[in-house]
Amino acid sequence: MGKVNLAVKVGRLELKNPVLVASGTFGYGEEYAQLVDLNRLGGIVVKGLSLEPKIGNPPPRLVETSCGLINAIGLENIGVERFIKEKLPFLRQFETKIIVNIFGYSFKDYAGLAAKLTAAGVNALEVNISCPNIKEGGKFFGTDPTSAAAVTKAVCEETDLPVFVKLTPQVTDIVEIAQAVIEAGADGVSMINTFPAMAVDIHTRRPKLGNITGGLSGPCLKPIALKMIWEVVRSLHIPVMGIGGIMSAADALEYLIVGAQAVQVGTANFVNPRTALEVIDGIEDYLRLHHFKDIKSIIGSVLIPK
């Protein structure tokens, strides 16, 4: 069988293949460039950026747990101005899409980031709404449809780039949140973000993380993410990037089959930096094995018994 077509279109974002690397697990791309051919990736979602540099949480910041990893990095980053000046020129060398994850603590923060990054010329924005709105007493943007929509609207008013909102799983009805951000102007959603978690050292009886709690990622999240994505795609028929515990091509294929149009490899990058490349190769092998010429033939192809 000849070459298969891996190209996908997620909303307005065109990708040469559906495999990206997730925010917070791949630095700003440069850190992995000696280990991974960045040109082969569908896209790079860079480490989350804020308007001003952020120091992050005290160590320890990472702890392994059963089937996953808990991180409490605290969104440490160099700030948007330094990213544009110091990191973006390096990324522009490569034939891959640059998606910037942004976060803030007010609608003004998000709007400001969107404006600066649009002017800088990245390919898309991913909006992290798992942050507290400090002007509303710390209420999290991502757990309330009205707040989630307001953040999305603030971003979309400042950019003509494709906008994907990264959804938290810590909600009663994720379809409601997804619908709210789409109606506010988002092109699609990335799902799911990490789940709040904790680990304790039984010998010292102290939390293993300096921040006490952190975000759980890794294989343990995959069944939860798959179910949530299936619900969103079935109900809303919107573009979705699937995230959560993708360690192999088989994992990625599950996401595509339930309806995600692209996937992001995250925690696996710490275990094997070349995971995303192996996932791309594995998807291509799967398509050939099952005589599919185009990856779009399997996206959303899940067979649900009547």
For residue 140, the model assigns a pLDDT of 87
Residue 7: φ, ψ to 5°: -70, 140
pLDDT of residue 136: 61
> Which of 67, 131, 156, 220 is the catalytic position?
131
Whole-structure pTM value: 0.96
Query: Residue 137 domain-assigned?
Result: yes
Using CA atoms, how far apart are residues 270 and 274, in angstroms rounded to an integer? 10
User: 63 in a domain, yes or no?
Assistant: no
**Does residue 105 sit within a domain?**
yes
**pLDDT tens by residue, 117-140:** 999 999 999 999 987 655 665 568
234 inside domain = yes
Provide, rounded to the nearest whole percent, the portion of the chain with pLDDT above 90: 95
Q: How many domains does the chain have?
A: 1
Does the residue 167 lie in any domain? yes
131 is catalytic: yes
Q: Of 185, 186, 183, which is closest to residue 165 (Cα–Cα)?
A: 186
Task: List pLDDT tens digits, range 5-51.
Answer: 999 999 999 999 999 999 999 999 999 999 999 999 999 999 999 99
Banded model confidence at residue 2, pLDDT cuts 50, 70, 90: confident
User: What residue numbers bound the domain in which 256 lies?
Assistant: 8-57+74-197+217-297
The CATH number linked to 17 is 3.20.20.70
Retrieve residue 98's tokens: 């640059």
Q: Is the dihedral of CA 67, 197, 146, 121 positive or negative?
A: negative
Asked whether residue 139 is domain-assigned, the answer is yes
Nearest to 276 by CA among 55, 3, 1, 32: 32
Q: Model confidence at 218, in pLDDT bands (50, 70, 90)? A: very high
Give the SS3 label for residue 243: strand
Please report which helix (H) or strand (E) contains residue 116, including its range. helix 107-120
